[in-house]
């Protein structure tokens, strides 16, 4: 199992770079960041410095979207980083939550997302693609490689990931829901004539190593609020107790009262007050190292190839270090 570190690009950028260097030293193979240009600093500028200051780390957004940048710009940016530092980038992509909504736009449609996955990958790997009906090819790209991993929760999005993406990003670490969603992605891949085992499965969630569960939960409760944005969209689309979406995912958002993006992804987010302890325990990895190892082994048995650790809390350095010394070695 691979391990990734997920950060927000809060200033100063030097701190983001330092944490990514620390992650590589501790055995992490991927460095991810949020991508929301209004809320945080521009990640692609910072990626260049992360790549320059590491040797093996692969970097990318968790996640970008097809609406805030034109697709040829996204592809060219990834290809430029790959040309400078070797093929060490990965494009995590989704419909767009904070990046779109903070700017007053609705998330992208799945149809647009599906087209973007193919166009961005083709362009970044040097192939011709149709952009707004026009044939486009970036002529200077040689031997480019860009895996595109898609974030998804709902049935139609899971199907799209199975049909088109190189990887599937699931932003929660509940084994029951992971099994259900991985199965849906793989089934869609089979129906599309693809090899389901070729799709990389990445589970992303906060991790907090501590015997003090109450404090750990409070440091990670924000994550249930963030996931709740997507879950609320699913309830709006499919209704409550729909056979299309498990109750285990949707039940907890009944008491949700809206969301303030100024606290997005941050400890102490008041918009996450509705999230019960049970959801924090299910969606995150909490407790002593043994508890993390046990849950990671359960996820690995379900076909998870990478655990990406959201590291937005008050023990960022300590979490990276204890994963490097006590947890990651158990999965080499």
Quick: pLDDT tens for 276-285.
999 999 999 9
Residue 115 and residue 104 in contact, taking contact as beta carbons nearer than 8 Å: no
Q: Identify the bridge partners of residue 89 per DSSP, sorted by sequence position.
A: 59
By DSSP bridging, strand 134-136 and strand 129-131 are: antiparallel
Mean pLDDT estimate for the chain: 94
Residue 240: is its pLDDT beyond 90? no
Quick: pLDDT tens for 208-217.
999 999 999 9
| The model's pTM | 0.94
Distance CA 251, CA 232 (A): 10
How many CB atoms neighbour CB 125 within 10 A?
20
The stretch 150-163 carries a mean pLDDT of 96
Complete DSSP assignment for 189-230: HHHTT--GGGSEEEEEEEEEE-S-HHHHHHHHTHHHHHHHHH
Quote the pLDDT of residue 330.
98
By DSSP bridging, strand 134-136 and strand 148-151 are: unpaired
Quote the pLDDT of residue 32.
98
Range list of β-strands (E), the chain:
2-7, 30-33, 58-61, 91-93, 129-131, 134-136, 148-151, 167-170, 200-209, 285-287, 306-310
Residue 328 and residue 23 in contact, taking contact as beta carbons nearer than 8 Å: no
Residue 108: is its pLDDT beyond 80? yes
Residue 283 and residue 224 in contact, taking contact as beta carbons nearer than 8 Å: yes
Quick: pLDDT tens for 41-79.
999 999 999 999 999 999 999 999 999 999 999 999 999
The stretch 227-251 carries a mean pLDDT of 79
């Amino acid at each position: 199992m691979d391990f990734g570190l997920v950060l927000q690009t809060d200033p100063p950028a030097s701190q983001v770079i330092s944490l990514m260097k620390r992650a590589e030293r501790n055995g992490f193979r991927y460095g991810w960041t949020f991508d929301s240009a209004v809320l945080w600093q521009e990640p692609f500028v910072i990626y260049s410095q992360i790549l320059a200051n590491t040797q093996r780390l692969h970097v990318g957004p968790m996640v970008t979207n097809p609406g805030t940048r034109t697709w040829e710009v996204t592809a060219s940016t990834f290809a430029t980083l790959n040309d400078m530092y070797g093929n060490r980038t990965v494009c995590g992509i989704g419909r767009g939550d904070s990046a779109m909504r903070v700017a007053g736009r609705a998330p992208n449609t799945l149809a647009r997302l599906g087209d973007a996955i193919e166009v961005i990958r083709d362009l970044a790997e040097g192939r011709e693609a149709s952009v707004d009906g026009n044939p486009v090819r970036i002529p200077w790209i040689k031997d480019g490689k860009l895996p595109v991993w898609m974030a998804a929760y709902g049935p139609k999005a899971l199907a799209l990931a199975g049909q088109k993406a190189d990887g599937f990003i699931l932003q929660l670490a509940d084994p029951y829901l992971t099994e259900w969603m991985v199965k849906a992605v793989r089934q869609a891949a089979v129906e599309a004539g693809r090899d389901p085992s070729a799709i990389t499965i990445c589970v992303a969630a906060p991790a907090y190593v501590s015997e003090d569960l109450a404090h750990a939960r409070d440091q990670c409760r924000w994550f249930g609020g963030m996931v709740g944005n997507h879950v609320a969209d699913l309830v709006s689309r499919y209704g409550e107790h729909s056979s299309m979406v498990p109750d285990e995912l949707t039940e907890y958002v009944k008491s949700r009262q809206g969301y303030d993006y100024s606290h997005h992804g941050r400890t102490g987010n008041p918009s996450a007050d509705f999230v019960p302890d049970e959801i924090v325990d299910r969606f995150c990895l909490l407790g002593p190292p043994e508890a993390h190892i046990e849950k990671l082994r359960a996820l690995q048995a379900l076909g998870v190839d990478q655990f990406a650790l959201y590291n937005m809390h008050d023990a960022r350095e300590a979490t990276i270090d204890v994963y490097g010394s006590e947890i990651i070695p158990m999965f080499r």
